[in-house]
Amino acid sequence: MRGALNIERTGIFGGDHIEVTAAGEAWRVNSSRVPTLVADVNVRLEGVITTPSDPVTCGPIVGRFIAGHESTCRMYVVAPDGSSFFVSPNTCTMKRSTRH
């Protein structure tokens, strides 16, 4: 099973857990364990992190959370109101480490 969990610490999402799923759903789960669907981007999401409310540091992704899509190298950026966009690099080079 793929997906990710982030314990939000910026305050933008009220300290809720931010969870993303292999189905492309992004959820907020509050301290009472009540889930709320924030967005559905319809692609497998992994590795989620929230960004602080600091436009100097974060620019256009301020106060949102970011989750990646491994196959396309896209980063999906989701706001608390559910609006979202993705950033796609010009090139995508996947390098995996080899363990011996």
10 found inside a domain: yes
Burial grade of 48 (CB within 10 A; 0-12, 13-18, 19 or more): buried
Residue 13 lies in a domain: yes
- Give a yes or no: residue 11 inside a domain: yes
Q: Residue 57 maps to which CATH number?
A: 2.40.10.480
d(CA 47, CA 70): 10
17-63 pLDDT, tens digit per residue, is: 888 888 889 999 998 999 999 999 998 888 888 888 888 887 888 88
Tell me whether residue 93 is in a domain. no
Q: What pLDDT does 88 receive?
A: 82
Residue 100 lies in a domain: no
Domain encompassing residue 51: 3-87
Q: How many domains does the chain have?
A: 1
For 60-76, write each residue's pLDDT tens digit. Answer: 888 888 888 888 888 88
Q: What is the pTM of this model?
A: 0.76
pLDDT of residue 61: 84
Q: Is the pLDDT of residue 96 over 60?
A: no
